[in-house]
Structure 1
Amino acid sequence: MPTKRSIFEEVGDTPKQTAAPGVIDRGGQGARGAIRVWLMALFALVVVMIVVGGLTRLTDSGLSITEWKPVTGAMPPMSDAAWAEEFDKYRAIPEYQLQNAGMSLAEFKVIYWWEWGHRQLGRVIGLVWAAGFLFFLATKKIPNGWTGRLIFIGALGGLQGFIGWWMVSSGLEEGMLDVASYRLAAHLGLAFVIFGFIAWYIYRLGRSQADILQARRSGDTGLARLSTALICVTFLQIVLGALVAGIDAGRAYPDWPLMAGGFLPPQPFDLVPIWRNFFEDDGLVQFVHRMVGYGLFLFGLFVWARARKSANGHTRRAYHLMMGMMVLQMVIGIVTVIHSAPWHIAISHQLGAVILWALVLYARFLAQYPIPQTIRGN
């Protein structure tokens, strides 16, 4: 029989029939913390991969390996004869014949090691993904609903390998000195897509499923929609940056804010058909990158101003960080142009894009899933 309660009994003293602490929250949640650490390792490797890829491009090393051997290519040349064979293959392509004729074997080894390291890092990322996924799958530690997401990351990584070779193969064709810029843009764009999904999953796994469901009810839908648009514009600017890098357009027109003394670069539409100018004319490609950069900055300011009205302090701080990085990235971009894109500044600009991408995604995440705060706003 239920016991009688005193009329003076405090409400907070009432015994409650609850499950053991954490039982509901742990149900089907798997090893969220361990999977998050594994994804953080992949996150770091992908960042390094993007930077190494940029340096490979800036050192003109990307065409030094003329074959795609996903398995046997993991071993570099181990003898003088093997090095001579690789060098002979390189001397047969247009880049050597039209640009690097007379290169010594020692000079070839420098660019070879850059490209080999880039490909080797890709293999390491694939192995880290496969080992982690198979372990968590075998031990049944994957949270409910996450198996498909983790497979998706691996599938994107596999696709990236194919696109990487598709990119390199374009530079081996007759008359080509570099890879096709649009293929380079596809390769870098997919790298940022992979990086973005890994970052988003890390953000989600950092909080319990119950917390995510609860937070969604207090999310700022309007701010989240604006931030989604900001993500799209940011991604567009990143891809346009890859087009600039693909034809070394960042080393042309080292004046700012004008280009060769005018708003538009000289003869921006000389190539026929006209669409080629948007991929192959260094002046127009740089001009478009500049204009979209200005648009991104202004739109970022608008979203930031909107985010300042958020009642959640964590969300406001995330947008402050995003806006601060956007300002810094724009400054680095201008410095890169003024100095004709030396490798150390250019790679800083690319790394800045990585950081900005992660911060835009994090701000968007908190707009949708705000962190609970006290009445004081902490």
Structure 2
Amino acid sequence: MQSLFVNMSSLGRNAMPLFVKPGPCCQKFHKCFTAGRVSYSQLNAAKHHLSRHKKLFPGLVSQVVRQTATAAETAAPQISRRAQKIVGGWLISCAGMCAGAVLLGGITRLTESGLSMVDWKLFKDMKPPRSQQEWEEEFEIYKQYPEYKYVAQEKGEMTLSEFKFIYYMEWGHRMWGRGVGLVFALPALYFLKKGWISKALKPRLAIFAGLIGFQGFLGWYMVKSGLEEKQNAYEIPRVSQYRLAAHLGSALLLYTLFLWNGLAHVLTPVQIPEFKQLARVRGMAHGLMAVVFVTALSGAFVAGLDAGLTYNSWPKMADRWVPDDLLAMSPKWKNMFENATTVQFNHRYLAQSTVVLISGFWLMVRKYPLPRRARLAVNCLAGMAFIQASLGILTLLMYVPTHLAATHQSGSVVLLSMATWLALELKRLPK
């Protein structure tokens, strides 16, 4: 701001006292003005005096008024690049913790461990049973719920060591979730105290905190649905696929927000050369991110209904492109979320459509002058789309083994990461 006044014409400086009514504020302002050193408080105070002389000296007055609006921002201390990178690294670490929670949650679901802890206590849950007596008491509580009764009926009595395995799986998942909260909250308080959090990021931190708490609530709300007695004694005890999808969806949303803001702090923005289709390319990149998110979310319904075991062939479902029981339920809309055949059908064709859309986008943008980093993001997204599709097909053909299914779920997070990175690289930069 000072350079503005240093470079202003001598006419403006010399004419200043002719149009400003003498007074302590204006005299001090004129003295600093002629020297090229004006503070925000002086500028703001003098603006009110100058505004009465717009007709006499409009150019100078309008310039002073414009600079008053930005003087506070100019005078405010700037966050150093090093501090921004540290904050960005912390946000990316939070994203990594969310990705770990998604992976652990998937393994917990695949090993049928999610219903082993039948209550939710914020602090008491942090200490698992230690003595033999505590383990036996916890096991006896578990025996009162539908999952144990079903397992005992179908597979025989469960041993204490088998119970310990599924208990530790669920306990590890819950502790990891609490770890996400700690990894976010403690550094957030420190960085706020240090003044390293920008004005734009502060309300987002409140959103992150709210989503973390909501995610914990959704986790217990989901587990609770699987602890209820079923009307049909032969029905497999499962958590609600709707609640499972909400739990996974909120985790992926939190992950995406953490990753976006983390990368925005760490990566140096690159100006994209202007070309005619740039706005369309940006819109399509955000559209691909949404498509990947929806496809991953549809996988939650597949997991919730064990729909991956319904038709284990590809590209056809058994010997048909469209199976006969696709709309077997009534009303028809229930098939979308409660019919295992329809749920698998939807996930298959959403995944295949995602690969086609990403491939088409990759071919389209090859002729456009994208920066090197944005082009790398496009290539990574396209490559990962084919890897993820291959993992999905293998998981299906091999009847959903735990290691492949967990890898496939992790692949969806990686694919979403690539889509998020690409959308960020193509973000419009402020002029």
TM-score relative to the length of structure 2: 0.76
Query: 5 Å matches for 1:157-306?
Result: 157-175=212-230, 177-207=237-267, 211=269, 215=271, 220-306=278-364
Gaps of 5+ in 1: 3-16, 18-22, 371-378
Q: Indicate yes or no: 2:106 matched with 1:106.
A: no
2:129 alignment partner in structure 1: 77
Q: Is the 8 Å Cα contact of residues 392 and 408 (structure 2) preserved in structure 1?
A: yes
Query: 5 Å matches for 1:46-65?
Result: 46-65=98-117
From 286, 300, 319, give the equivalent of 2:378.
Answer: 319
Q: Indicate yes or no: 2:344 matched with 1:344.
A: no
User: Deviation at 1:283?
Assistant: 1.5
* Alpha-carbon distance in 2 for matches of 1:306, 1:132: 42
Computing the radius of gyration from Cα coordinates, the structure with the larger value is 2
Gaps of 5+ in 2: 1-6, 8-35, 37-72, 231-235
* Alpha-carbon distance in 1 for matches of 2:427, 2:75: 21
1:13 alignment partner in structure 2: none
* Alpha-carbon distance in 1 for matches of 2:75, 2:193: 22
Question: Which deviations, in whole Å up to 9, do the C-alpha atoms of 1:106-147 show, x marking residues without a partner?
Answer: 110000000000000011111111101111112222123211
* Alpha-carbon distance in 1 for matches of 2:272, 2:257: 19
One-letter amino acid of the structure 1 residue matched with residue 294 of structure 2: L
One-letter amino acid of the structure 1 residue matched with residue 356 of structure 2: L
Question: Which deviations, in whole Å up to 9, do the C-alpha atoms of 1:333-371 show, x marking residues without a partner?
Answer: 11111111111111111111111000011111111258x
* Alpha-carbon distance in 1 for matches of 2:124, 2:353: 46
Aligned pairs, how many? 347
* Alpha-carbon distance in 1 for matches of 2:76, 2:159: 62
Higher relative contact order (CA 8 A, sep 6+): 1
2:388 alignment partner in structure 1: 329
Q: Is the 8 Å Cα contact of residues 271 and 277 (structure 1) preserved in structure 2?
A: yes
1:363 alignment partner in structure 2: 422
Q: Is the 8 Å Cα contact of residues 218 and 369 (structure 1) preserved in structure 2?
A: no
Which one is further off, 110-119 or 120-129? Answer: 120-129
Which one is further off, 148-157 or 102-111? Answer: 148-157
Q: Is the 8 Å Cα contact of residues 120 and 220 (structure 2) preserved in structure 1?
A: yes
* Alpha-carbon distance in 2 for matches of 1:276, 1:100: 31
Q: Is the 8 Å Cα contact of residues 337 and 343 (structure 2) preserved in structure 1?
A: yes
Change (3 A) 1:28 1:207: farther
* Alpha-carbon distance in 2 for matches of 1:359, 1:136: 28
User: Deviation at 1:24?
Assistant: 7.1
One-letter amino acid of the structure 2 residue matched with residue 241 of structure 1: G
User: Deviation at 1:159?
Assistant: 0.6
Write 1 or 2 for the structure with the bigger share of helix.
2
One-letter amino acid of the structure 1 residue matched with residue 334 of structure 2: R
Q: Is the 8 Å Cα contact of residues 240 and 289 (structure 1) preserved in structure 2?
A: yes
* Alpha-carbon distance in 1 for matches of 2:300, 2:75: 43
User: Deviation at 1:301?
Assistant: 1.8
Which one is further off, 353-362 or 93-102? Answer: 93-102
Q: Is the 8 Å Cα contact of residues 310 and 316 (structure 1) preserved in structure 2?
A: no
From 126, 142, 147, give the equivalent of 1:90.
Answer: 142
The CA RMSD over aligned residues, in Å, is 2.4
Question: Which deviations, in whole Å up to 9, do the C-alpha atoms of 1:220-261 show, x marking residues without a partner?
Answer: 322110111111111110011111011111122111111121
User: Deviation at 1:217?
Assistant: 8.6
Which one is further off, 220-229 or 342-351? Answer: 220-229
* Alpha-carbon distance in 2 for matches of 1:188, 1:172: 19
Q: Is the 8 Å Cα contact of residues 90 and 262 (structure 2) preserved in structure 1?
A: no
Q: Is the 8 Å Cα contact of residues 151 and 158 (structure 2) preserved in structure 1?
A: no
SS where residue 261 of structure 1 aligns? coil
* Alpha-carbon distance in 2 for matches of 1:57, 1:25: 54
Change (3 A) 1:315 1:369: farther
* Alpha-carbon distance in 2 for matches of 1:338, 1:295: 20
* Alpha-carbon distance in 2 for matches of 1:26, 1:164: 42
* Alpha-carbon distance in 2 for matches of 1:319, 1:38: 25
Question: Which deviations, in whole Å up to 9, do the C-alpha atoms of 1:10-29 show, x marking residues without a partner?
Answer: xxxxxxx9xxxxx9799433
One-letter amino acid of the structure 1 residue matched with residue 391 of structure 2: I
